[in-house]
Structure 1
Amino acid sequence: MSAYSTAFQALTAGRALRPGEAAQLLAELRRETGEELAAAVEKQLDGKFRRTATDTDGRFRKKRLHYGASMRVVAAFRALAQAQRPTIPNPRPRSTT
């Protein structure tokens, strides 16, 4: 049974969940959703950045850079999904100093 259907049943059963149960249920739902999202994004990226016959070396280098950045986003989705307490990995400060 998926975490979504378990959460749906728990919410519609008519009995209140204890805080620990609710936290566990939400963590499982977050993990499942993050994995599904990462897999979908990875599937969309598959083959998008391959070298074609018309690509120059510079164009292909840019494709590799874009692919690397995209895969870092996928890795961040997976890290957030697996985290006990989700936080944004490696946040960058917005200061200009």
Structure 2
Amino acid sequence: MTAYSTAYEALTSGRPLRPGEASQLLAALREEFGTELADAVEKQLDGQYRRTEADTNGTFRKKRVTYGASMRIVAAFRHLAAAPYRPIIPNPRDNRSTS
């Protein structure tokens, strides 16, 4: 079952999700979406930066640099999608004295 269908089923079942379950479900959905996005971008870039007969050394070098930058972005998508979720907890302000 995909993360999307699991999320849909959880939202339409009428049973409230516990915070831990919701967090895991959103993390799975984020990971699946990030992987699909990276795969789609990589597929779009495939073959676009290959050397042609009309390319000079300079234009091919520019293509290689552009392709490398694009693949670094794809790698960043994959890394962010797989990164564990860490909630940001604000620093609690406590004006009480400890003495």
TM-score class, shorter-chain normalisation, is: 0.7 to 0.9
For the pair 1:9 / 2:9, whether they are aligned, the reply is yes
Between structure 1 and structure 2, the one with the greater Rg is 2
| Alignment-derived partner of residue 46 in structure 1 | 46
> Displacement of 1:15 after TM fit?
0.9
d(CA) in 2 for partners of 1:25, 1:43: 27
Moved over 6 A (4+): none
Normalised by the length of structure 1, the TM-score is: 0.87
d(CA) in 1 for partners of 2:23, 2:13: 17
| Alignment-derived partner of residue 29 in structure 2 | 29
C-alpha distance after superposition, 1:40-61 (max 9, x if no partner): 0000000000000000000000
In structure 2, list runs of 5 or more residues that go unmatched.
87-99
Between the two proteins, the alignment pairs up a number of residues equal to: 86
C-alpha distance after superposition, 1:56-96 (max 9, x if no partner): 0000000000000000000000000000037xxxxxxxxxx
Structure of higher RCO (CA pairs closer than 8 Å, 6+ residues apart) = 2
CA RMSD of aligned residues (A): 0.9
